[in-house]
Amino acid sequence: MINIKELTIKKAHEALKNKEYTCVDLAQTYLTEIENKNPELHAYLAVYNDVVEQAKKADGMIEKGKGTMLTGIPFAIKDNIFFEGKVVSGASKILENYVATYDATVVTKLKDAGAVILGRVNMDEFAMGGSTENSAYGPSKNPHDISRVPGGSSGGSASAVAGDLALGALGSDTGGSIRQPASFCGIVGLKPTYGSVSRHGLIAMASSLDVIGPMTKTVEDAEIVFNIIKGKDKFDATGVEGELPKKNRYIIGVPTDFLKGVDDDVLNNFNQSVEKLKSQGFEIKEVSLPTLPYALAVYYILMPAEVSSNLARLDGVKYGSLKEGKDLMEDYFLTRGEFFGKEVRRRIMLGTYVLSTGYYDAYYGKALKVRELVKQDFEKVFKEVDAVVTPVSPMPAFKFGEKSNDPLQMYLADIFTVSANLATIPAISIPAGTVPREDKNLPVGLQIIAPRFGENILFDIGKRFEE
């Protein structure tokens, strides 16, 4: 019997290496778990039919001494990442039957490393949302309390890892879509430096913000996955490479002027986390990030603008679902009206508006300038400190329907996460304990933000915090 509750990528790798069980045994254990739990959690939209073949191949790699840290490790991928020959829908009706014609670079890297990809997991439609309630196929549930959301947009990835339906998962993060669900589900979620992981084969939402990253049970596991998926790629012109060295001593910044509007118990938990870091020998320093309060407004101008242009290609003509009208223009209206969900339509309209003549300079042009100021704020702060900590979200996981009728409330939940995307810097969410809600204890995360290429710093501080 494999105890998957206690399993991590590191432990599974050791067990497979020592022949305690095979990759096929491990894959079968997870397939059984998915069969039992997925009807309730709805993390997976599809489980692949070649999982056992993948596992046999992984066993062969280990047999030949060609195994890596990820060989035989059961993985889930977000439904906006291409896997050749499999449906990839972006959790939207418009791509319901769209079959990927090639592998995303991250999938190629996982396959080369011998990972076993179990299936594709649920998300907010085209990654737009913070609760997975915007999936065209129904929401995923939070394993800690199924009456609550798992977060989003990578809610299926978080639900799968937290619910023991995968040992690791890939998510994508445009404004917090890896970190917020990781926080809500009590797992680790890394948003890498923009461009450090190839976006080739990711359905684009907002191209200057999107980044693929790992969601795992431990910081060490996130580091293992990141080291395999990172690197420049000839198919992604935005690719960058670099690495900041680890240090013996870190100074950690806390932007106290920015901790408004946070639930009392979440703020209390954050303060305890800061005290814990202090007791572990980290130097804590108050810092000021004056433009941070504007980050959310900037994000909700730039992101919809990019959404509006990126999703223009989805018109039912070249690929995807089509609802026919009397002429081409009506085809477009009917197709997009019928097959795009409410939130996607809302963001396309917002984006088209801020890009339109007469408003472009007032909104989009101004937002680009403020984005530059947010970047400069962080650059200034990182001259004084090695990392910055904040809560991940102002609240723990909320109940289904609690915020979905008020988009503004939903958008405000991104207040602490969007700035790292705007500044193109790495950030990680690590479990920081729980807060009580009704009769449940719900997980909350601590967000650590580092300078560009500072993933090593995040892993180093994160591992010490976990201890």
Domain holding 29: CATH number?
Answer: 3.90.1300.10
Closest-CA residue to 453 (of 239, 174, 170, 206): 239
- Dump pLDDT digits (tens) for 341-356: 899 999 999 999 999 9
What's residue 403's pLDDT?
87
> What are the helix (H) ranges across 154-218?
155-162, 179-185
pLDDT class for 216, splitting at 50, 70, 90?
very high
Give me the percent of the chain exceeding a pLDDT of 90.
Answer: 87
Q: Is residue 169 part of a domain?
A: yes
Q: What three-state secondary structure class fits 81?
A: strand
Phi, psi of 441, rounded to the nearest 5 degrees: -100, 120
CA dist., res. 65 & res. 401, Å (int): 51
Mean pLDDT over 52-68 rounds to 97
Cβ-based neighbours of 113, under 8 Å, separated by 6 or more: 68, 69, 70, 71, 228
Asked if the model's pLDDT at residue 15 lies above 90, the reply is yes
CA dist., res. 137 & res. 91, Å (int): 7
For residue 36, give the DSSP letter. Answer: H
Single-letter amino acid code for the residue at 302: L
| Tokens, residue 363 | 């909104």
Closest-CA residue to 32 (of 140, 106, 118, 126): 118
Q: Is residue 451 part of a domain?
A: no
Asked if the model's pLDDT at residue 334 lies above 90, the reply is no
Choose, from 140, 154, 157, 177, the residue flagged as catalytic: 177
Q: How many residues are there in the chain?
A: 467
Q: Is 164 left (phi over 0), alpha (psi -120 to 50) or beta?
A: left
CA dist., res. 162 & res. 144, Å (int): 8
Starting at the earlier edge strand, list the strands of the sheet with 44-47. 44-47, 116-121, 74-78, 168-173, 211-216, 188-191, 427-437, 440-449, 387-391, 251-254, 283-286
Can you tell me which residue has the tokens 């009769």?
A: 439
Strands 251-254 and 387-391: parallel
CA dist., res. 100 & res. 108, Å (int): 13
78 catalytic residue (yes or no): yes
What's residue 83's pLDDT?
98
CA dist., res. 15 & res. 22, Å (int): 9
pLDDT class for 318, splitting at 50, 70, 90?
confident
Asked if the model's pLDDT at residue 296 lies above 90, the reply is yes
Chain mean pLDDT for the chain = 95
What's residue 261's pLDDT?
84
Q: Give, in degrees to the nearest 5, the angle at Cα 349 between 343 and 350.
A: 90
pLDDT class for 319, splitting at 50, 70, 90?
confident
Neighbours of 31 (CB within 10 A): 18
Asked if the model's pLDDT at residue 407 lies above 80, the reply is no
Neighbours of 244 (CB within 10 A): 18
Asked if the model's pLDDT at residue 358 lies above 90, the reply is no
Neighbours of 248 (CB within 10 A): 6
Q: Is residue 177 part of a domain?
A: yes
Closest-CA residue to 390 (of 228, 267, 276): 267
Asked if the model's pLDDT at residue 150 lies above 80, the reply is yes
pLDDT class for 263, splitting at 50, 70, 90?
very high
The full DSSP string for 43-71 is -EEEE-TTHHHHHHHHHHHHHTT---TTT
Q: Is residue 292 part of a domain?
A: no
CA dist., res. 81 & res. 60, Å (int): 26
Give me the percent of the chain exceeding a pLDDT of 70.
Answer: 100
57 catalytic residue (yes or no): no
Choose, from 92, 153, 273, 429, the residue flagged as catalytic: 153
Q: Is residue 399 part of a domain?
A: no
For residue 313, give the DSSP letter. Answer: G
Closest-CA residue to 193 (of 250, 126, 242, 245): 242
Domain total in the chain: 1
Mean pLDDT over 301-317 rounds to 92
Q: What three-state secondary structure class fits 154?
A: coil
Strands 427-437 and 387-391: unpaired
pLDDT class for 404, splitting at 50, 70, 90?
confident
- The HSE-up count of residue 299 (CA atoms within 13 Å, CB side) is 30
What's residue 227's pLDDT?
98
| Tokens, residue 323 | 């609802």
Neighbours of 10 (CB within 10 A): 17
Q: Is residue 126 part of a domain?
A: yes
Mean pLDDT over 272-285 rounds to 97
For residue 84, give the DSSP letter. Answer: T
This model's pTM is above 0.85: yes
Phi, psi of 433, rounded to the nearest 5 degrees: 100, -160
Mean pLDDT over 180-208 rounds to 97
Is 292 in contact with 258 (CB distance < 8 Å)? Answer: yes
Q: Is residue 131 part of a domain?
A: yes
Task: Determine whether 46 is exposed, middle or buried from the number of CB atoms within 10 Å of its CB (0-12, 13-18, 19+).
Answer: middle
Q: Is residue 184 part of a domain?
A: yes
Domain coverage including residue 110: 9-229
Q: Which helix (H) or strand (E) holds 131?
A: none
- Dump pLDDT digits (tens) for 411-456: 888 999 999 999 999 999 999 999 999 999 999 999 999 999 999 9
